[in-house]
Structure 1
Amino acid sequence: MESEICISYYSINSKNLSLFSDFEKLKNKLIGLKDEIGKGIRKLSISCDFIIGHENSIFGENGNYSLDTSSLIKLFYDGSLGSNFSEISSQKMIQNILNNSFAVGKTYYSAYCLEYNLFWPNIDKKFCLHSIEDIYNFDCEILAKYPLNNDSFIRRSITIFNKLYFSENCYNSLKSIKTNDITYFSIPFVNVLSSLQKCAPDIKDSPSNQKDLKLIGSTCNIECTPQGSNKERNNFSFSFKLEDDTNEIVFCEYHLKLDKCNNDGDSHYYYNRIYFGLKTTISKGKIICIGHIGGHI
């Protein structure tokens, strides 16, 4: 399941573009958005008629403009953005968004607006995003409601929760969930991962793991504790790709207890856990390493 964030002539107010510097700022804003979106499941897609071909394109229908149109077009079609231009039109993007079908696991689409007062026509406002935070919240909502399967859940989590580090074990650990599978527990798992994502910048320079655990526990609203008995190191040691893509073993004895499911009416206490470690690195400071997502070890 992929996420395509769409840019069209509805994403901007072309009347605000008059000087060459205005176009440069627009281009740099698009590059910044592309970089912040990152790789993985997300893709920034710019409509084929964003530059020229429609009366609302930034250069109009025929590209008649008082500035040097050819140099301006070249400004956008260089190597930094060229690969993000789509073969589909703005109207086709609208149809894609209207036809979103999250449950089937296909690419899902959203409309991005570069100004807060802009919205795409005929598109529900919940699909009109205005910031990286909006993209993040939208992806979290779709992940929680439509986890699909174990592999899709982890693959999307790695992109969405990009301040966390996931071990390869996470792909298999979801199989340890008892009674049901990720589709029954996705909401509490997403809520906790989102809380850990929120904590990641705050512990970066922290010298105390105990203070970090208190912060994580209060943010997640779940007690965060180290492993008590059954503390065999091999059971909680997982391999991660950290600095320079080298594999490192991180001891992940800290855990958060997820006893709820997606169904508010289900009062059963479930023994699901997220096990993690706190690892201090040279280039990134202290980071949160997710070793296991699933049932109790």
Structure 2
Amino acid sequence: MKTCVSTTYASPHSFSEAINSIDSFDLVETFIEKLKSIINEFDKYDYIDILFSNDLIDFKINNIKSLSDKIEDLSNGEEQAYFYYLGEIENTLGQCQSYIDTSSCEEKILNQTYISFPYYHPFTINEKWVSLANIEHVTSSICALNLNSKYIKTNIKDTTDFVKKATDIYGDLIFHPLLPDTISDLKFGNYTQYIDCFCHALNTLNQAYNIISNDADKNLDDLILISTVSANLGPRTLPCTRQAKNKVEYKFGDDEINCEYHLKLNFNDLGKKLPNKYYNRIYFGLKFNFKKRKKDIYVAHIGKHL
């Protein structure tokens, strides 16, 4: 079972404008469909959660009526309609229903240190939570992944600790056990000067996992796609190519994986380009997994150019 890296909390603050605008059962159904789409989006990842406060239906924000009050007004005394829509919302939330209320969610988010898992994030589709205006909000599962990638840098002890956290945060990647050694064997400086670059590259590979092809003959197309993902995530596009000469093979358990593909990391965390002989790379392999019916991404080496 994978470690839960982050819990994103949703509350009435997350949907204040949407709730306030509800003036028909059609908009109630639209709201329910929105909840379903959010849950389905997070369900793609088994190492991040989204949970809804247990007062999502009843909590009032200032002069905005609660969701329950809105549905009651629309029901106009028809209990069957009222309880039907409340039931639909409860069924939609299912296991994503939290056992804590909005104020407890706020407390968890405000008091965290980002040192241990899970990280806590506030979710929104419009305005920020009133009491959390200075905290970064999550608007999608991708946003949660990006924040997790950002917070991994808090209180890293050494390369082993970095890889241990990375294994959890970039949960769709398969990491080679000797990665701490490759990170320790840099040609220039030490890993603390390249953490942002390493995280950007790993976040790129992790998010590319769900969108690369399942065709072994399209690996080169996938490299272009991976580079495009890096550009979308920023701060810069990472060239992604195959090895020009020597193959790079690594043992992952009983499997020998060709890990010649690599992301080029030619800058340090200050944005300064490195001399050619000091370039860093992340070498990885792509191999179709017949059980998953997807390609796995194997991360073999993080560090100096091989």
User: Does structure 1 retain, via aligned residues, the 8 Å contact 2:216–2:288?
Assistant: no
> In the alignment, which residue of structure 2 is the partner of 1:47?
53
Pairwise CA distance, 1:154:
1.5
**TM-score relative to the length of structure 1:** 0.72
Q: Secondary structure at the match of 1:167?
A: strand
CA distance in 1, matches of 2:131, 2:29: 30
Sequence identity of aligned pairs in percent? Answer: 21
Which amino acid in the other structure matches residue 238 of structure 2? N
> In the alignment, which residue of structure 1 is the partner of 2:111?
99
Write the mapping of 1:103-122 to structure 2, written as runs, cut at 5 A: 104-114=115-125, 116=126, 118-122=127-131
CA gap 1:208/1:16 in 2 versus in 1, 3 angstroms:
closer
Pairwise CA distance, 1:275:
1.6
2:11 aligned with 1:17, yes or no? Answer: no
CA deviation map 1:231-283 (0-9, x unaligned): 4x7x43436xxxxxxx9653212233546554668979767532222446789
Q: Which moved more, 1:47-56 or 1:210-219?
A: 210-219
CA distance in 2, matches of 1:255, 1:267: 17
Aligned residues: 275
Which amino acid in the other structure matches residue 29 of structure 1? K
CA deviation map 1:173-226 (0-9, x unaligned): 234322698665421112223444576647667956556556756854347341
CA gap 1:26/1:172 in 2 versus in 1, 3 angstroms:
farther
RMSD of Structure 2 on Structure 1 (CA)? 3.9
CA distance in 2, matches of 1:133, 1:270: 32
CA deviation map 1:90-132 (0-9, x unaligned): 1222222222311x21432222123x3x221021355223334
CA distance in 2, matches of 1:217, 1:83: 36
Residue from 71, 83, 86 that aligns with 1:70: 83
CA distance in 2, matches of 1:186, 1:168: 17
CA distance in 2, matches of 1:215, 1:128: 27
Pairwise CA distance, 1:65:
4.1
Write the mapping of 1:100-249 to structure 2, written as runs, cut at 5 A: 100-102=112-114, 104-114=115-125, 116=126, 118-124=127-133, 126-144=135-153, 149=161, 150-158=163-171, 162=172, 166-169=173-176, 171-178=177-184, 185-196=194-205, 201=211, 207=217, 209=219, 213=223, 220-222=237-239, 224-226=241-243, 228-229=245-246, 231=247, 235-238=249-252
Which amino acid in the other structure matches residue 6 of structure 1? Y
Write the mapping of 1:269-284 to structure 2, written as runs, cut at 5 A: 272-279=280-287
> In the alignment, which residue of structure 2 is the partner of 1:251?
258
User: Does structure 2 retain, via aligned residues, the 8 Å contact 1:147–1:186?
Assistant: no
2:11 aligned with 1:2, yes or no? Answer: no
Q: Secondary structure at the match of 1:177?
A: helix
2:88 aligned with 1:81, yes or no? Answer: no
Which amino acid in the other structure matches residue 94 of structure 1? E
Q: Secondary structure at the match of 2:128?
A: coil
Unaligned runs of 5+ in 1: 240-246
CA distance in 2, matches of 1:24, 1:6: 22
Pairwise CA distance, 1:49:
0.9
CA deviation map 1:140-181 (0-9, x unaligned): 3223556662212121112xxx5xxx2352x54234322698
CA gap 1:41/1:184 in 2 versus in 1, 3 angstroms:
farther
Which amino acid in the other structure matches residue 99 of structure 1? N
**TM-score relative to the length of structure 2:** 0.70
Q: Which moved more, 1:173-182 or 1:266-275?
A: 266-275
Unaligned runs of 5+ in 2: 232-236
